[in-house]
Copies of this chain bind each other. A is one copy, B any other.
């Protein structure tokens, strides 16, 4: 992989700054400067608009449209995709000075600076426009409320070196294009400082109420256009006197009552005011970093990179609202259409398990809330129980490609794994015995009905695609078989060990029959697992070892991404793999496999992998670290934290690789620090040779623990002062205050 970085942003531990506006890079910058608070996301587009390339995207978690239904087609194939739709743009402004419109593409300017402050969650942009003989200094600031998630804030300060008259038009607009196509929003109401519309196909209402104005004398005029509400201010600036424009925005979604709700929210927002809210949010972020920071000494690039990742992850999701999930691009762009994938449970969940247990639980609750949709999906596939979708916003299957939607079972086993993982870290048996148990039962029903018995009497899955999407339709994919086996066994263990009263409730809810349990046990026992004792190799699927070989290094750079350059079916007929498959289940259930076994499989599969998924290198890095291949581990870490900052994949303009961002966190915490959480919580830290030291904080069993790794030492500090048991380098330690160990 000869990926190269595009260095555009200056390196700083807490700030992401650009001091030049590059119109050819503007879409990338917009993605990088995205703000989000889980409820909503705003790309970093210019407040005052521009003729330069821009994607003025504002997105709301769970607000989506259906695509047009395809005609005809076969049973069990979704007929339409769902897409998170570009929604109300509430930051849009137009400015003119003495009647001359201002636009960075036309108006001369100096002193440009745009900075995202990772410590405070604020995006500021300053510049001085030269217009009509006036030097007008502008400072734009935006932030989204991380706690009162319906609220957004915009402030612009104006300072002119000469008296002048400015007009500032503030837009509330539902006419933003989506993927280049005209808005499909249906207007419901346009009023003064208010706009409400609904999605065409899903009838979701979105209301936006605003309070805005200058701190100086102003003339105000209201008007309206199609899908747009406007408010124009005329203000006379005095030479050298700062004038401040503030816009408070409250948004609400749902049914028609969104209007009332938005107004109520705005009332409270106005009562608190901009300054208090700004301070409250600063404190929020301060508190957050106190619990979740990763500090790297001796590697400024990765220091900035990992903080950017953590920041974006927190922005995208932190359990603010029930029923939210994490789209592949978060709320930062339109690629992947805002859909969530199995990435949530497989890659993102661990971050939340160790930083925000409530947020982790809430991710599982997304799956519980969509259990009925998963049951319907199983029915559509002629199966029983619950089949979780490969791509979804609402819980419905949104992927129209049957080869993925019908053959990939990892969303369902990932949900089961997520429940297991959450319980293992949290010990929350209440959840396990209720919602968790119910989901497990329905997933087992699906897994039993989708599996089949071979003529030689063992059980497994035919016509499946594992996590490695380059082996499309295979039998006995070991990932699938293994994960199903573990799901059966864990579910049975839960059912066998839970209190009778809880079990009775579950049985009543699900109609579970004794026969089902014995069927699951038989299926688990008879599951075909392709393992060779001698070589310690798991065969990725039946026949994989016999597949024609291709030297992945022989494929030229120009041929990537293969999906664009190779004929579709050509991708699938050799031993090349897209992303870890065997290595993936060996990481998820790390404790089930010896280091030697992992080494054998890593050495077999790593050379076959081309990492066409941005989730792939980190998994390899984590396992490489465990088996002592530190150079390779670093090689695979290389792109992890700065994938988007340096636009390695040249597609950051489409939005951030949000779920890959979680892989960067995993790469450091599970990789270099060797955290494992599938059995007992354990760490085995090492220090990458180019770093002087690093430290990170995680929350384990309610204790905030800081782990610092230097060349010589591993220092474990329990900041919560409640004694904590932790397995370190395989040994049980009780950490009450601070323990210093030799770095092994």
Contact = CB atoms under 8 A, between A and B. Distances in A.
A548 B455 contact: yes
A375 to B, nearest CB: 15
A637 B118 CA distance: 77
Contacts of A74: 563, 567-568
A547 B453 CA distance: 8
Given A473-B572, A573-B463, A574-B462, A456 B567 contact: no
A569 interface: yes
Given A75-B567, A381-B569, A565-B75, A574 B452 contact: yes
Given A462-B574, A473-B572, A454 B567 contact: no
B454 A546 contact: yes
A76 B455 contact: no
Interface residues of A, number: 39
A381 B463 contact: no
Given A543-B475, A546-B455, A574-B462, A402 B76 contact: no
Contacts of A543: 475, 542-543
Interface string A537-566: 000001101111100000000000001111
Contact of A568 (B75, B542, B568, B570): B75
A548 B546 CA distance: 22
A570 B76 contact: yes
A77 interface: yes
A380 interface: yes
Contact of A570 (B382, B566, B573): B382
A6 to B, nearest CB: 26
A691 to B, nearest CB: 41
A102 interface: no
A314 interface: no
A406 interface: yes
Interface string A474-496: 01000000000000000000000
Interface in A505-554: 542-543, 545-549
A380 B569 CA distance: 11
A321 B546 CA distance: 49
Contacts of A456: 546
Interface string A44-87: 00000000000000000000000000000011110000000000
A472 interface: yes
Contacts of A453: 548
A407 interface: yes
Nearest to A402: B568
Contacts of A455: 545-549
A551 to B, nearest CB: 13
A572 B381 CA distance: 13
Contacts of A407: 569
B567 A381 contact: yes
Contacts of A566: 75, 382
Interface string A379-390: 011110000000
Interface in A447-466: 452-456, 462-463
B462 A547 contact: yes
Contacts of A549: 455
Contacts of A545: 455
Contacts of A382: 566-567, 570
Interface string A672-703: 00000000000000000000000000000000
Given A74-B563, A75-B568, A402-B569, A463 B472 contact: yes
Contact of A567 (B76, B548, B572): B76
Given A542-B543, A546-B456, A573-B462, A567 B475 contact: no
Contacts of A565: 75
Contacts of A542: 543
A548 B475 CA distance: 11
Nearest to A460: B548
A454 B546 CA distance: 6
Given A455-B547, A462-B547, A77 B568 contact: yes
A382 B570 CA distance: 8
A736 B744 CA distance: 98
A719 to B, nearest CB: 50
Nearest to A75: B567
**Among the interface residues A77, A546, A567, which one has the most CB atoms of the partner chain B within 10 A?**
A567
A552 to B, nearest CB: 15
Contacts of A77: 568
A77 B570 CA distance: 11
Contacts of A452: 548, 573-574
Contacts of A76: 567-570
Contact of A454 (B75, B383, B548): B548
A185 to B, nearest CB: 22
A127 to B, nearest CB: 38
B473 A472 contact: yes
Contacts of A547: 454-455, 462, 475
Nearest to A572: B463
Nearest to A474: B473
A548 B453 CA distance: 6
A333 B75 CA distance: 25
A543 B296 CA distance: 52
A115 to B, nearest CB: 37
Most chain B CB within a 10 A radius of its CB, from A380, A382, A569, A573: A569
A742 B263 CA distance: 100
Nearest to A569: B406
A308 to B, nearest CB: 31
A454 B473 CA distance: 18
A403 to B, nearest CB: 8
A75 B548 contact: no
Nearest to A459: B548
A667 to B, nearest CB: 30
Contacts of A380: 567
20 contacts: A75-B566, A75-B567, A76-B568, A76-B569, A77-B568, A381-B569, A382-B570, A406-B569, A452-B548, A454-B546, A454-B547, A456-B546, A462-B548, A462-B572, A462-B573, A462-B574, A463-B573, A475-B547, A542-B543, A543-B543
Closest 5 CB pairs of A and B: A76-B567, A452-B548, A74-B568, A462-B573, A406-B569
Given A381-B569, A462-B547, A543-B543, 13 more contacts: A74-B568, A75-B563, A75-B564, A75-B565, A75-B568, A76-B568, A383-B567, A406-B567, A406-B568, A452-B573, A452-B574, A455-B547, A455-B548
